[in-house]
Amino acid sequence: QVQLVESGGGSVQPGESLRLSCAGSGFRSEYDAIGWFRQAPGKEREGIACIRKRDGTTYYADSVKGRFTISKDNAKDTVYLQMNSLKPEDTAVYYCAASLLLHPIRALISKDYDYWGQGTQVTVSL
Protein backbone atom coordinates (compact mmCIF):
# COMPACT_ATOMS: atom_id res chain seq x y z
CA GLN A 1 0.00 0.00 0.00
CA VAL A 2 1.43 3.33 -1.07
CA GLN A 3 1.92 5.86 1.69
CA LEU A 4 3.08 9.43 1.51
CA VAL A 5 3.72 11.14 4.82
CA GLU A 6 4.37 14.86 5.09
CA SER A 7 6.17 16.44 8.01
CA GLY A 8 7.80 19.72 8.96
CA GLY A 9 4.82 22.04 9.01
CA GLY A 10 4.32 24.61 11.73
CA SER A 11 3.77 28.24 12.61
CA VAL A 12 6.35 30.86 11.69
CA GLN A 13 6.60 34.61 11.28
CA PRO A 14 6.84 36.34 7.90
CA GLY A 15 10.33 36.11 6.44
CA GLU A 16 11.19 32.90 8.24
CA SER A 17 11.81 29.46 6.73
CA LEU A 18 10.47 25.94 6.98
CA ARG A 19 11.45 22.65 5.38
CA LEU A 20 8.78 20.13 4.57
CA SER A 21 9.50 16.45 4.00
CA CYS A 22 7.52 13.88 2.06
CA ALA A 23 8.44 10.26 2.79
CA GLY A 24 7.11 7.65 0.39
CA SER A 25 6.74 3.91 0.84
CA GLY A 26 4.94 0.92 -0.61
CA PHE A 27 5.44 1.72 -4.27
CA ARG A 28 5.16 -1.45 -6.37
CA SER A 29 6.26 0.35 -9.49
CA GLU A 30 8.57 3.27 -10.03
CA TYR A 31 6.89 6.61 -9.63
CA ASP A 32 7.75 9.38 -12.05
CA ALA A 33 7.49 12.52 -9.96
CA ILE A 34 6.56 13.99 -6.61
CA GLY A 35 4.68 17.25 -6.43
CA TRP A 36 3.87 19.66 -3.64
CA PHE A 37 0.46 21.25 -3.52
CA ARG A 38 -1.23 23.57 -1.07
CA GLN A 39 -4.75 24.55 -0.22
CA ALA A 40 -5.76 27.60 1.76
CA PRO A 41 -9.23 27.92 3.31
CA GLY A 42 -11.80 28.79 0.67
CA LYS A 43 -9.34 28.40 -2.18
CA GLU A 44 -8.63 25.72 -4.75
CA ARG A 45 -5.69 23.39 -4.41
CA GLU A 46 -2.61 24.93 -6.01
CA GLY A 47 0.35 23.06 -7.45
CA ILE A 48 3.54 24.77 -6.36
CA ALA A 49 6.51 22.49 -7.08
CA CYS A 50 7.37 19.19 -8.69
CA ILE A 51 10.47 17.09 -9.12
CA ARG A 52 11.01 14.13 -11.40
CA LYS A 53 12.62 11.13 -9.74
CA ARG A 54 14.84 10.00 -12.58
CA ASP A 55 16.60 13.21 -13.60
CA GLY A 56 15.65 15.75 -10.95
CA THR A 57 13.93 18.13 -13.35
CA THR A 58 11.99 20.67 -11.32
CA TYR A 59 8.93 22.79 -11.95
CA TYR A 60 7.67 25.72 -9.88
CA ALA A 61 4.62 27.91 -9.73
CA ASP A 62 5.30 31.60 -10.18
CA SER A 63 3.96 32.24 -6.70
CA VAL A 64 6.89 30.41 -5.09
CA LYS A 65 9.66 30.66 -7.68
CA GLY A 66 12.84 32.01 -6.13
CA ARG A 67 11.64 31.35 -2.57
CA PHE A 68 10.92 27.62 -2.48
CA THR A 69 13.25 24.81 -3.52
CA ILE A 70 12.24 21.21 -4.10
CA SER A 71 14.84 18.46 -3.78
CA LYS A 72 14.97 14.68 -3.43
CA ASP A 73 16.82 11.84 -1.80
CA ASN A 74 16.05 8.78 -3.91
CA ALA A 75 17.76 6.43 -1.46
CA LYS A 76 15.28 7.48 1.20
CA ASP A 77 12.33 7.93 -1.17
CA THR A 78 11.97 11.37 0.37
CA VAL A 79 11.31 14.73 -1.24
CA TYR A 80 11.88 18.03 0.50
CA LEU A 81 10.42 21.49 0.07
CA GLN A 82 12.62 24.25 1.46
CA MET A 83 10.48 27.33 1.95
CA ASN A 84 12.26 30.62 2.52
CA SER A 85 11.00 34.18 2.88
CA LEU A 86 7.59 32.92 3.90
CA LYS A 87 4.63 35.26 3.55
CA PRO A 88 1.20 35.23 5.21
CA GLU A 89 -0.29 34.22 1.86
CA ASP A 90 1.73 30.99 2.04
CA THR A 91 -0.52 29.86 4.87
CA ALA A 92 -2.20 26.63 3.79
CA VAL A 93 -2.30 22.89 4.21
CA TYR A 94 0.58 21.48 2.18
CA TYR A 95 0.26 18.11 0.48
CA CYS A 96 2.71 15.96 -1.39
CA ALA A 97 1.58 13.66 -4.15
CA ALA A 98 3.10 11.05 -6.45
CA SER A 99 2.56 10.78 -10.17
CA LEU A 100 3.21 7.46 -11.89
CA LEU A 101 3.52 9.09 -15.30
CA LEU A 102 4.03 12.81 -15.47
CA HIS A 103 3.39 14.91 -18.52
CA PRO A 104 5.71 17.92 -18.10
CA ILE A 105 3.17 20.36 -19.41
CA ARG A 106 0.84 19.25 -16.59
CA ALA A 107 3.48 19.01 -13.85
CA LEU A 108 1.46 21.10 -11.38
CA ILE A 109 -2.00 19.77 -12.19
CA SER A 110 -3.41 17.87 -9.23
CA LYS A 111 -5.56 15.56 -11.37
CA ASP A 112 -2.41 14.02 -12.85
CA TYR A 113 -1.26 12.71 -9.48
CA ASP A 114 -2.13 9.24 -8.27
CA TYR A 115 -1.29 9.14 -4.58
CA TRP A 116 -1.63 11.79 -1.90
CA GLY A 117 -0.44 12.39 1.61
CA GLN A 118 -2.61 13.65 4.44
CA GLY A 119 -1.18 17.14 4.49
CA THR A 120 0.68 19.32 6.96
CA GLN A 121 -0.37 22.78 8.12
CA VAL A 122 1.84 25.78 7.50
CA THR A 123 0.84 29.05 9.15
CA VAL A 124 2.68 32.30 8.54
CA SER A 125 1.63 35.17 10.77
CA LEU A 126 2.96 37.84 13.11
Please say if the pLDDT value at position 88 is more than 90: yes
Q: In angstroms, how far is CA 26 from the centroid of its own chain?
A: 19
The one-character DSSP state at 105 is G
Instruction: Quote the mean pLDDT of the chain.
Output: 95
Q: Please give the pLDDT value at position 74.
A: 86
Please say if the pLDDT value at position 26 is more than 90: no
pLDDT per residue as tens digits for the range 31-67: 899 999 999 999 999 999 999 999 999 999 999 999 9
Please say if the pLDDT value at position 89 is more than 80: yes
Torsion of CA 110, 112, 95, 8, to 10 degrees: -130
Please say if the pLDDT value at position 28 is more than 80: no
Please say if the pLDDT value at position 29 is more than 80: no
The helix (H) or strand (E) run that includes residue 15 is: none
Q: Please give the pLDDT value at position 87.
A: 98
